[in-house]
Amino acid sequence: MDINEEQLSYLAKVNIFADLDKADLASLQNVSPIVTVAAGTVLLRPDGPRPGLFLLKRGRVRLYRLSNDGKIVTLTILGDGTVFGSTESIALNGRNIHAESMDNCLICIMRQPDVERVIRQYPKVGLRIMQILSSRLADLEDLTESLANDDVRRRVLHLLTHLGKQFGVPDGNFLRLDLPLTHADIASMVGSTRETVTSTLSTLARDGLVRTNRRQLWIEPERVSMALNALAPV
């Protein structure tokens, strides 16, 4: 499967309404009106209200936790078409998290009764949600393995390929990550430090696996996957 195909299937997978036709979608407009949210808005906090499922139509949202010494640990960044939040019956993420918009976002909020009614009316939506949960579980398994076994270089490569699936836009041989990411952000996702991320990125650039310029990041998917398929250092 080439990158474009993979990217498309990824997007199709995360849109829980992908299977519905126009008429069905139209009937959902009233259920989940679209709201605009300014950059930097905290949408979820631990022990805060849990209004339901958030459908992120456009924009980027950071899910993070605060470690006991107060540092931000970014769990993941979500892009267009993703779903997060939780109801009594369906949790798409854990309870002790913060969710904060990184851009101006367009979102819908579906409250629990509406979610359940829609699932009963359109069982395919329920199946989609299960697919989303399944693929996130698989991603998490990959991620925990990487965090447990790999050195920083490989952890960064894993993260970048993962982000590439959701935020990569083709640019010649490269994929540009359409995402405002600082080295500190990357460090907080791979469990390392800002300085170490800086130096691993520069050696990755030297080796032609990535390109960096002005807070923009490109990855060379072919070489990156080759590097990841090589034997891990023990």
Partner DNA sequence: TCATTAAATTTCT
Partner DNA sequence: AGAAATTTAATGA
Least distance (Å) from DNA to the CB of residue 233?
Answer: 6
Kind plus residue range of the DSSP H or E element containing 205: helix 194-206
Task: Answer yes or no whether residue 32 interacts with DNA by CB under 7 A.
Answer: no
Q: Residue 95 or residue 215: which is nearer to DNA going by CB?
A: 215
Which one, of 105, 209, 234, lies nearest residue 157 by Cα? Answer: 209
> Which residues between 137 and 196 bind DNA (CB under 7 A)?
151-153, 182-184, 191-196
Dist. CA 107–CA 2, nearest whole Å: 30
Dist. CA 84–CA 197, nearest whole Å: 28
Dist. CA 146–CA 120, nearest whole Å: 38
Which one, of 60, 77, 76, 81, lies nearest residue 7 by Cα? Answer: 81
Task: Answer yes or no whether residue 200 interacts with DNA by CB under 7 A.
Answer: yes
Size of the site for DNA (CB under 7 A): 21
**Piece of 9-17, 25-33, 158-166, 197-205 that binds DNA (CB under 7 A):** 197-205
**Piece of 16-24, 121-129, 141-149, 209-217 that binds DNA (CB under 7 A):** 209-217
Contact residues for DNA (CB under 7 A)? 151-153, 182-184, 191-196, 198-202, 212, 214-215, 233
